[in-house]
Amino acid sequence: MSGALDLPQLVALASEGNRRAVGRLLSVVEQGGALADTVTSLTHQKPSAHVVGFTGAPGAGKSTLIGQLVHHLCQQNQAPAVLAVDPSSPLTGGAILGDRIRMDHLNAGQAFIRSAATRGHQGGLALSVPGSMRVFSAAGYHPVIIETVGVGQVEVDVAAAADTTVVVVNPGWGDAVQANKSGLLEVADIFVINKADRPGAQDTRRDLELMLELSHVSGQEDPTGYRPPIIMATATTGDGIAETWTAITLHLQHLKNTGQLEARRQARIRYEVLSRIEQKLQIAAKNALTAETITTNTSPAKLAQQIVNQLLA
């Protein structure tokens, strides 16, 4: 891409609905560094759209579900944006971003779909996802949907960036013991059992219900009385899509009514600031840790403390 970047102009164009400007700004944010920081400064005061995160195992049907949801929203004359995140190769940095295949032929509506790679670098996604959300919000997209494979740190970073987190599971994914393991299921505001036309969907529903009941027994339930709904869906036919959207809007209403929306957004900013600090400190630490400082005789604990002392001095 050619030419110097006039970021304020790009932001102005984006807020007038210029898609190419939005696309360009997202690239700047993904690239990170000083230019990305400038985009943050130019967009952070615009009101945030409702950010909805979709997560779940590979092949659970997240992209197909989101594709149908976007179609549903476009028919209601809404302008949804999607950030579909796929992993980068830790070896080459390359990525195959294949989520658009499941969100086919949506260009007639007002939707904007962007594929992003995790790009491996430390805290990368934790920094670029909130930045991308701000670009979409500034450009007037609503709601803004983030899709991630529900594995590891990426999913935590994304849950931290979302107002509402939807966890997608399938029939036959596991039993009641799986449902009570820590992780993915704890971050859910809404469950969607996708491929619900397959055998075992009711068993899966029962296991999730039981897990939610146990949250009540152990005192882990939401203090405001919110209980994550369980939606049965078959994304390929469109079954359950309208119900999913209703559940998402009801959850937003609940967040607003209870004052949790502000609390979540404050927590989101806190998480982003901490991620930024971590990234800066990590770079400083890597620079301080030269090859000469490390020998086989070095105590790793002592050396780490020395470098921290040196950085904080």
Partner 1 sequence: MENSTIRIVLAKLGLDGHDRGIKVVARILRDAGMEVIYLGIRQTTDDIIAAIEQEDADAIGLSMHNAGHLTLAPALLAALEKAGLTTPVIIGGIIPDQDVAQLTTDGVAAVLGPGAPAEEVVAAVRQAVNQ
Q: Give me the residues that bind partner 1 (CB under 8 A), please.
A: 1-2, 19-20, 22-24, 26-27, 31, 88-89, 92-98, 100-101, 104-105, 107, 112-115, 117, 119
Residues written for the chain: 313
CB of 19 to partner 1, least distance (A): 5
What is d(CA 16, CA 10) in angstroms, rounded to the nearest whole number?
10
Nearest distance from C-beta of residue 8 to partner 1, angstroms:
18
Q: Which residue number, 92 or 297, has a Cβ lying nearer to partner 1? A: 92
Closest to partner 1 by CB, 71 or 114: 114
Is the CA virtual torsion 189, 118, 19, 262 positive or negative?
A: positive
CA distance 184 to 206: 18
In three-state secondary structure terms, 192 is strand
Min dist CB 100 to partner 1, Å, is: 6
Burial class for 138, CB neighbours closer than 10 Å (0-12, 13-18, 19+):
buried
- Provide the β-strand partners of residue 168: 56, 192
d(CA 115, CA 100): 8
Judged by DSSP in three states, 300 sits in helix
Spatial neighbors of 122 by CB under 8 A, at least 6 apart, are 278, 279, 282
Q: Name beta bridge partners: 55.
A: 148, 167
101 versus 273: smaller Cβ distance to partner 1: 101
Q: Hey, what are 281's tokens?
A: 């400190």
Q: Residue 92 CB, nearest distance to partner 1 (Å)?
A: 5
In the complex, minimum distance from the CB of residue 91 to partner 1, in angstroms, rounded to a whole number: 8
| DSSP 8-state code for residue 147 | E
Cβ closest to partner 1, residue 123 vs residue 228: 123
Smallest separation (angstroms) from partner 1 to the CB of 107: 4
d(CA 81, CA 298): 51
Q: Which residue, 68 or 88, is less far from partner 1 as judged by CB?
A: 88
Q: Which is nearer to partner 1, 123 or 171 (CB)?
A: 123
Q: How far is the CB of 96 from partner 1 (least distance, A)?
A: 5
Per the DSSP assignment, residues forming a β-bridge with 86 are: 117
Q: Which is nearer to partner 1, 29 or 193 (CB)?
A: 29
